[in-house]
Amino acid sequence: MSVSADKPVTWVLERDVFSTACFDAMVEHIRGRELPLKIVRVVPFAHVIDGKAPQIEGPAVCYGSIGVAKVAADNGWQPGVFTDPNTFHYEAYRDALGDLILNADAVRLRMSEVSAFVAERRWTSFFIKPNDDAKAFAGAVMEADEFETWVSRMREIGYLDENDIDVVVSEPKPLGVEWRVIVVDGEIVESSIYKQWGRAMAERHRQPEVDAVVRAAHARFVPAPVYVIDVAQVGDDYKVIEYNTFNSAGLYACDVGRVVDAVTAYVERAYATTPA
């Protein structure tokens, strides 16, 4: 399906996903630039628009829950989201980044294998996250004796289904400050601290050492033309935690307007020569 190059970029924003401040700032900036804007609700778990899907001509960028990827695909919106299951999974970027990755010791397991694996190593706590970027749950440090209870509770509320999904598991690392960095077409656009010594504490901040790690990682592995990369301070060093799909990643204290402008400009360039 081709996209008309003479149409402006439409932004499709999902309600009630990210903070009100971020959503409002994005809406205000998009409207201020007089770009087409569609605001939708996506039905949880079904990943379909609640009501009639908007008609869009020209390129579109979706931003919201992981459900927007399916919404974009179902409606033929391009690029819709910047993601690829072949690149947005932990093993792909762990193998590519080598010494730049935080959890180089991570092991891929089925969810059902985790408890036995952890018990065998006598870990009292461990880090776990989905192997892919589908966000079945957020990566976190778990207490070993609470893991099975957590899994049961997540399934009871419908957040995890009965599928025996792939996860990656590693020993927890002592982290200092953690950054979220937005990369668009090879350029670092915005950077925000999101945690400081384990506590949520957002702050717009650029750190030369973080930028250096992001650039080194970009030279080895590029999951998409627009992506999010998280970096952590580990003692005196800096390591990549993971990559995330931009379209479903929180922006914390990033300048939302700068992010919207950079992504819009990239899409305009990318589709400038696309045949109608």
Identify the CA nearest to 209 among candidates 184, 228, 236: 236
Q: Where are the domains of the chain?
A: 10-81, 103-170, 177-255
Residue 190: pLDDT over 50: yes
Record: fold of 177-255: D-amino Acid Aminotransferase; Chain A, domain 1 (3.30.470)
Give Cα separations from 43 to 16, 81, 138, 154, 256 (angstroms).
11, 18, 20, 19, 25
Residue 275: pLDDT over 60: no
Check: CB of residue 249 under 8 Å from CB of residue 180: yes
Residue 3: pLDDT over 80: no
* Mean pLDDT score of the chain: 92
C-alpha R_g of the chain: 19
Average pLDDT of span 22-41: 97
pTM check: above 0.75? yes
> Given pLDDT bands bounded at 50, 70 and 90, which one contains residue 211?
very high
The CATH code of the domain at 103-170 is 3.30.1490
Share of the chain above pLDDT 90, in %: 76
φ, ψ at 16 (rounded to 5°):
60, 40
Average pLDDT of span 121-129: 94
Residue 122: pLDDT over 90: yes
Average pLDDT of span 239-268: 96
In the prediction, which pLDDT does 75 show?
A: 96
DSSP assignment, residue 55? P
State which H helix or E strand residue 128 sits in: strand 125-130
Residue 248: pLDDT over 50: yes
In the prediction, which pLDDT does 2 show?
A: 54
Structure tokens at 195: 């945690």
